[in-house]
A and B are shown apart, each in its own frame.
Chain A
Amino acid sequence: MTATDLTAGRRPMARADVADWLAERGVYVGLLLLIAFNLAFTPRFADADNIRLQFVQVVPVAIIALGMALVIGTKGIDLSVGSVMAISSALLALFLGYGPVVAIVIALVGGAAVGLLNGVLISYFGIQPIVATLALLVGGRGLALVIAQGRLTEVFDPVLATIGSDRLVGIPIVVLIAVGVAVVVAVLVTRTTFGRYVVAIGGNADASFLAGVPLRRTLLSVYVLSGVLAALAGIVQTARLSASDPSFVGNLIELSAITAVVVGGTPLSGGRVRILGTLAGAMLMQLIGATLISHNLPDSATRMVQAAIILGAVFIQRQRTQA
């Protein structure tokens, strides 16, 4: 086997270049175009209230997408995030009697536990990420429903209410939480050993192993982190809605999160993590929905358009990695 054999079978350059460009910059261009369109055609788009609303609504997806970006960076996937959101929401409602701090901590620990289970199945038992997290996607929501006994619980708590709807210097607290998470994840990715290990494993797991990268520990941490962030998203969502509804919270959010990551230029094949792109991807999907709704297109149309965009984004990524 000649080392150079790998470069054989090259596709036409132009197609790869277009795909490359789109994958790298497409999300920002799309975002700008969408904003321009809305400024021109959507009444009251630039109002402070509307802008605030868009940011608040994108928070859960953005937080989960940041964890998902790390997971995808290792060439993995986490399908259980929506169920984790539901579990965390149910735990929060259940333990609120012991005070908000205890409840929040328990909800986060619940998310970490699911992430740990994912991580153990993947890194120690060698189960494929999609399979392991699928099992928890199935069982997780059931568990959440069992915890909540299938009911919607209204959540009245001053601390949670503050988190959910108050502002700090005009910025909603939930948005500040998301910004905080983004900064932490960005620091992790760019400034820490852990971040290097994540992209190294995704880029070439065999070479990473030979270079002494702690594969298992890193993978385990990534899935735990993804679980904790999903739980945080569940808490934020519960606080914002003042209600815990385990049968709906986080439904299909794994799809939105994966889309945000992929649209943001992180390839599903791993080896890269793009934080800003991921956030822009989440915002793009949020604005597409908002735009369609404000132009009186029904929710169903939004879903169909989103589905088409997901397929388009993955298709472009695919063209790029084949080149």
Chain B
Amino acid sequence: MSEEKADAPSATVLEAEEVSKRFAGVVALDGVSFALRPGEVHALVGENGAGKSTLIKVLTGVYQPDHGRILYRGDPVTFARPLDAQAAGISTIYQEVNLIPLLSVARNLFLGREPTNRLGLIDFRRMHRDARAVLERYGISVDVGRPLRELGLGVQQMVAIARAVSADHRVVFMDEPTSSLEPREVKRLFDVVDLLRRDGVAVVYVSHRLEEVFRLCDRVTVLRDGRLVHTGAVADISRLELVSRMLGRAVADVARARTRFNDRHTDKRSQAILRATDLTRRHVLDHVSVEARAGEVVGLAGLLGSGRSETAKAIYGAQALDGGTVEVQGSPLRLGSPRAALSAGLALIPEDRKAEGIIPSLSVRDNIVLAALPAMSRLGFVSERQQDAVVRPLIARLRIKASSPDQKVSELSGGNQQKVLLARVLCLEPRILILDDPTRGIDVGAKAEIQTLISELADQGMSMLLISSELEEVVEGSDAIVVLRDGAVVGRLGPEEVNQEAVMSLIASAGHQAEGPAPSGGTDAGANTHDGD
């Protein structure tokens, strides 16, 4: 595609050497090395908690590494603040466009460095002329005097890139830049990335869309649980291999007999207790349908950003929808209301424990009983003793390590906080439980306990939807699996078909073109082909 592209293992522009980072005892990065060459587009992939964000933040001066060092253009550097990294020529394009929507395109482009005249007033004519010139390089012609928000997200993203990449920039980090773009905007973004590559700029491209990795990137680095699991040319790896490295083991190991922490047979003749039909939300979900019978664990598999969490939230009423219905035991559920879901016997453990799960300022007891308060109160009055009659057995059963029910939940470890959330939904005795990545970021012991619990609950007849960043967990825990990609269902696996290889090949399979970006150079982005070199 271009001559400057790293054909030799030439000098690296930015490099992390054996970088480690811990937060409050949890390892986020464990001796990760990462080298970026000039003029390459380097994909950085991995699931939740893999350490992508942390690695980017360490490289851009948001965090300081605990161990290891950063080399920039061959010399060790320390970026104390993000602005230092920016000044050195490293810029970051965030997932959500971080510009000022009310200001004009030109003002956004030049914010903080506007051309001024002798009086110190902004020289609007020059600013607009320069803005047009800058944007023309990226093949964009818009009225630069219009407020940014009047333009599509794609153009906004271009403006963000144009702003970030001034003449002397050498490295650009792009964090899921296509997550909210239309297909034609994606195409334009790719052209811009190609342009940057030709200019010798190194691009780190974070994405969960395999099509994009294979179409656009030269090399790929896979992180998992804070460790480097793979780095190499995109041309040398197949989709299936890449998926297996992201989600679990090497392909060779996958084929072995599956072990299950959940081994039981559901009555196939029984009626579906949960039936979600045609859940649709523009750019997010596309006619997703899911069913679960009593005592059945249905896995929602897919990469991060595939719509698995959105499906879970949509069923629970916490995700706005354009269309679709949810039925619990045959009666329709009022959508958009977690309260309605809860009273229908549907409970959710959300993906983001800190932001959406625990109430940090409250005690373990108050956190556990929160959802069950209406049932546990008389005329609105609550009694601690009555609550403890429920809370203490749960603390014992789930082995929550807390000094007492009065301890603040923010003082507990991640695993114990997760158990508190489990206890919260168990108080409700739900018929259907949705678990979104229930073992994410917690220690091995707690993880095993939670997995055992899921199995026990299913044995008792509770239906579940299970999502996990680890394919192994979904495969071993589920009776059936619905595989999602780009917000749509790409396959369903029955009890006899559930195995990691089947899930991975569905995730890795190409197709579904309408949802992905259109092929750029007429080359079809087939499963294992790569239109680069």
Partners in one complex: yes
Residues of A within 8 A of B (CB): 1-8, 191-194, 196-197, 199-200, 202-204, 206-214, 270-272
* Chain B residues numbered 288-341 whose CB sits less than 8 Å from any CB in chain A: 316, 318, 338-339, 341
Given contacts A200-B366, A212-B342, contact A5 B23 (CB under 8 A): yes
Q: Is the CB of A3 within 8 A of B353?
A: yes
Q: Is the CB of B440 within 8 A of A200?
A: no
* Set of chain B residues within 8 Å of A272, measured between Cβ atoms: 361
* Set of chain B residues within 8 Å of A206, measured between Cβ atoms: 355-356
Q: Is the CB of B338 within 8 A of A203?
A: no
Proximity string of chain B (234-269) to chain A, C-beta cutoff 8 Å, 1 when within and 0 when not: 000000000000000000000000000000000000
Given contacts A8-B23, A193-B377, contact A210 B359 (CB under 8 A): no
Which residue on chain B has the smallest CB distance to residue A201? B359
A270 to B360: give the CA distance in the assembly, Å: 11
A270 to B366: give the CA distance in the assembly, Å: 16
Would you give 22 A-B contacts (Cβ < 8 Å), ordered by A?
A: A1-B352, A3-B49, A4-B26, A4-B28, A5-B53, A7-B23, A7-B24, A191-B381, A191-B382, A193-B373, A193-B374, A193-B377, A199-B362, A200-B370, A203-B361, A207-B357, A208-B359, A210-B356, A211-B424, A212-B338, A212-B341, A213-B370
Given contacts A208-B370, A271-B362, contact A214 B380 (CB under 8 A): no
Known: A4-B414, A196-B370, A204-B358. 16 other contacts (CB 8 A): A1-B53, A1-B352, A2-B51, A2-B53, A3-B352, A192-B377, A194-B380, A196-B362, A199-B359, A199-B361, A204-B360, A204-B361, A210-B316, A211-B338, A271-B359, A272-B361
A196 to B361: give the CA distance in the assembly, Å: 11
A281 to B63: give the CA distance in the assembly, Å: 40
* Set of chain A residues within 8 Å of B392, measured between Cβ atoms: none
* Set of chain B residues within 8 Å of A203, measured between Cβ atoms: 359-362
Q: Is B512 an interface residue (CB 8 A)?
A: no
Q: Is B195 an interface residue (CB 8 A)?
A: no
Residues of B within 8 A of A (CB): 23-24, 26, 28, 49, 51, 53-54, 57, 63, 316, 318, 338-339, 341-342, 348, 350, 352-362, 366, 369-371, 373-374, 377, 380-383, 414, 424, 440-441
A8 to B383: give the CA distance in the assembly, Å: 37
* Set of chain A residues within 8 Å of B374, measured between Cβ atoms: 193
A211 to B367: give the CA distance in the assembly, Å: 10
A193 to B361: give the CA distance in the assembly, Å: 16
Q: Is the CB of B441 within 8 A of A4?
A: yes
Q: Is the CB of B370 within 8 A of A211?
A: yes
Q: Is the CB of A207 within 8 A of B53?
A: no
A238 to B359: give the CA distance in the assembly, Å: 41
Which residue on chain A has the smallest CB distance to residue B352? A3
CB distance from A76 to the nearest CB of B (A): 15
CB distance from A88 to the nearest CB of B (A): 26
CB distance from B363 to the nearest CB of A (A): 10
CB distance from A275 to the nearest CB of B (A): 16
Q: Is the CB of A207 within 8 A of B373?
A: no
* Set of chain A residues within 8 Å of B23, measured between Cβ atoms: 2, 4-5, 7-8
Cross-interface CB contact of A8 among B63, B316, B366, cutoff 8 Å: B63
A197 to B377: give the CA distance in the assembly, Å: 13
CB distance from B32 to the nearest CB of A (A): 13
Given contacts A7-B24, A194-B380, A196-B382, contact A210 B350 (CB under 8 A): yes
Q: Is the CB of B361 within 8 A of A207?
A: no
Q: Is the CB of A200 within 8 A of B318?
A: no
Which residue on chain A has the smallest CB distance to residue B26? A4
Q: Is the CB of B28 within 8 A of A2?
A: yes
CB distance from A185 to the nearest CB of B (A): 14
Q: Is the CB of A271 within 8 A of B361?
A: yes
A86 to B206: give the CA distance in the assembly, Å: 59
* Set of chain A residues within 8 Å of B366, measured between Cβ atoms: 196, 199-200
CB distance from A184 to the nearest CB of B (A): 13
